[in-house]
Amino acid sequence: EEYSHIQGTRWNKNVLTYRYCVIGRYTRDLRSSIVDSLIESAFSVWARASGLTFVRTHSHNADIMVEFVTYAHGDFYPFDGPRGTLAHAFGPGIGTGGDTHFDDDERWTAGGAGYNLFVVAAHEFGHALGLRHSRNPESLMYPTYKAFHPTNLLSREDVANIKALY
Ligand SMILES: CNC(=O)[C@@H](NC(=O)[C@H](CC(C)C)CN(O)C=O)C(C)(C)C
Ligand SMILES: [Ca+2]
Ligand SMILES: [Zn+2]
Ligand SMILES: [Zn+2]
């Protein structure tokens, strides 16, 4: 399974809205203001490379709904408890398109022990924008979590792929 439940291939607009925590709540691992800044940073990685704009909204029909959930949570891809699958995202499209779910049975961190929320969110938002996995271990879209990345999270391949799409 690609963990990027592809719907459309790309968004046909360049301002995308996102909203947090409609189903689940914030993770208890981090203060909500830290979660906000990590998610913002993950969006800004793609905004810089693509020219897309991401706007947080509280309206009901945000393009990208961001949730921290566990096990079965209303889609066909239940999470699996600690470790294993960390998160998943739906490709561009209406409804669940773009929606991004984090397994809240993981320990989410801003840099300490556990899984780095900024890095995982950036990977997931790549899917939410229409990117598939890469076989290049240098790529952010590599299917296995890596704790350490060079300062610029996106590989040349990631930048080329998002520019080809938008
Ligand atoms: C530590 N566990 C892993 O490395 C697992 N990989 C993931 O959970 C992917 C997310 C990482 C790359 C942030 C799932 N994915 O592709 C979502 O879009 C397994 C490789 C075990 C599946
Ligand atoms: Ca898990
Ligand atoms: Zn889900
Ligand atoms: Zn993935």
pLDDT at 138: 93
Q: Closest Cα to atom 1, ligand 1: which residue?
A: 145
User: CA 62, 68, 70, 76: dihedral to nearest 10 degrees?
Assistant: 20
Contacts for 91 with CB less than 8 Å, ≥ 6 apart = 4, 5, 6, 7, 8, 9, 97, 98, 127, 128, 130
Report the amino acid identity of residue 6.
I
> What average pLDDT does the structure give for the chain?
92
Which of 124, 134, 132, 59 has the alpha carbon at shortest distance from 98?
A: 124
Which two structure tokens, joined as six digits, stand for 135?
A: 């076989």
| More confidently predicted of 131 and 152 | 131
User: Does 60 score more than 90 pLDDT?
Assistant: no
| For residues 80-89, average pLDDT | 98
pLDDT at 97: 94
Q: What SS3 state is found at 39? A: helix
**pLDDT tens digits for 108-136?**
999 888 999 999 999 999 999 999 999 99
E strand or H helix at 101: strand 100-103
User: Does 98 score more than 90 pLDDT?
Assistant: yes
User: Does 2 score more than 70 pLDDT?
Assistant: no
**pLDDT tens digits for 7-27?**
568 999 999 999 987 767 888
Positive/negative CA dihedral, 149, 153, 154, 156: negative
The answer to whether residue 124 is catalytic is yes
Q: Closest Cα to atom 6, ligand 1: which residue?
A: 144
Which two structure tokens, joined as six digits, stand for 26?
A: 């914030």
Cα(127) to ligand 4 centroid in Å equals 7
DSSP β-ladder status, 100-103 and 108-109: unpaired
pLDDT at 1: 39
Confirm or reject: Cβ of 123 under 6 Å from ligand 1.
yes
Q: What SS3 state is found at 96? A: coil
pLDDT at 149: 80
- Atom of ligand 1 at shortest range from CA of 144: 4
